[in-house]
Chains A and B, each alone.
Chain A
Amino acid sequence: MDEASVKALVEAILVTSRGPVAVEAIVEAVSDPEITVEKVEQVLGGLKATWDEEQRGIRIEQVAGGWRCVTPPQLDPYLRSFHGIASRQRLSQAALEVLAIVAHHQPVTLPEVNFIRGANSAGVIRTLLDRQLLRLSGRKKVVGRPFYYRTSREFLIHFGLDSPEDLPDPEELVRDDAAAAAE
């Protein structure tokens, strides 16, 4: 398959897919020994650069271990007006804190989240499970066998992370404060 065809196919796959597409999946679809992961990544990188530069209404981004099509954020007000959607997605401070704790400590149980926040988080966790930003991941083998929680793929997509490790290290963020306080 020549490069132009690969490029066309990559575009077509991304536009017709729901959610991020793994590079390996594209390689498999092409099934040409000359079209390697590196080659497809190169095509994707080129596509991203071109679409960004041309200020297209559809861009591509790398997220949650794959690539997907999205609209640029500045078009959101017009899109909401066109589609007649007034409400915005909201996340409460409590929800953000619980997500931060789970993202940083996963797998983590409800009692552990409660302890770190110093407040009961059962309701917040239920909401986040419903919104599929968290997922269950087995039970901890202690008394009461509480559920383990992890962040979901939806979490990575929503916050634009390729993997959970991409979250900044909170230690790093407050190190300056600590150094200042120690002086």
Chain B
Amino acid sequence: MVDGTPAELSDAALPVVLPVFEGPLDLLLHLIRKNQLSIYDIPIAQICDQYHGYLRAMQELDLEIAGEFLWMAAWLLQLKSKMLLPQPEEGEEDPRSELVERLLEYRRVKELASILYDSHVVRRCLWEPALGTHLGGEELELDWEDVDLRRLALTYLQVMERHAAAHPSPLTVLPLRFRVEDAMQHLYARVCESGLMPLLRHIHTRPDPEEVVVLVVATLELVRLGGVCAEQERQFAEIYLRPGRTRLDLESILRHGVEHG
């Protein structure tokens, strides 16, 4: 087992402090070791009670209990109730076998982790000769082995970031979807044709706010040129457009449109 890890040390040195466990399996292994039990024949009732005791202690200390601890608590309760039932028939699987397998697998992991730790403690003290960048002054070559998808993705993001920094985005120019000139021509033709045109009713049929703005500007422009006059009886009532005093030809409208944008 991994004796000498920080968790174990704090357990021994400060009995008041709850040891920190990597997960529910870690906690179970600790309980089994503490009670000198065999993994292959776990007294579920006893372990279940101790496990729940630990969770209660965590709660009292206001520690956040990760979901996996609660999940294991439920599993243990389920096993406990199964163990209370009459002993299973010959040949039937022990309800604990899945838990035993997972504990064994996790214990193997901890064994291997402790071997890695021993090696880490010694080998982090090794230094490689530091090389200056005089070697051709070029960028270091990476071994194919060291390049994975993530490295590639990170490099891509770095390149894009550099690119974005070097090329700040210019003003975005959206294509002009509605032109005041067109709206003026259209409105003027309709007003002349029908003699009276309800502006608001027309505007309400246009769902695009940009088009509405263009329509209003076009109306104002027509009124300014005297080609159309607008009437409104009171506030918020319908606005009626009639042909104005001046007759405008399309040519002049277009010309004004170009001049005044």
Interface residues of A (CB under 8 A from B): 15-16, 18-19, 58, 68-76, 79, 88-89, 91, 93-94, 96-97, 99-101, 103-104, 116-120, 129, 132, 135-138, 147, 152-154, 158-160, 167-168, 170-171, 173-174, 181-182
Contact = CB atoms under 8 A, between A and B. Distances in A.
Contacts of A76: 125-127
12 contacts: A15-B129, A18-B140, A19-B128, A68-B128, A76-B127, A100-B113, A118-B23, A152-B148, A153-B146, A159-B120, A170-B111, A174-B111
Given A96-B114, A96-B117, A174-B108, 4 more contacts: A75-B127, A93-B2, A119-B24, A119-B25
A120 B66 contact: yes
Residue with the greatest number of chain B CB neighbours at <10 A, chosen from A15, A136, A170, A174: A170
A93 B113 contact: yes
B153 to A, nearest CB: 9
B123 A160 contact: yes
Given A116-B106, A119-B24, A129 B124 contact: no
B102 interface: yes
Interface residues of B, number: 50
Nearest to B108: A170
Interface of B: 2, 5-7, 22-26, 38-40, 66, 68, 72, 102, 104-117, 119-120, 122-129, 131, 135, 140, 143, 145-146, 148-151
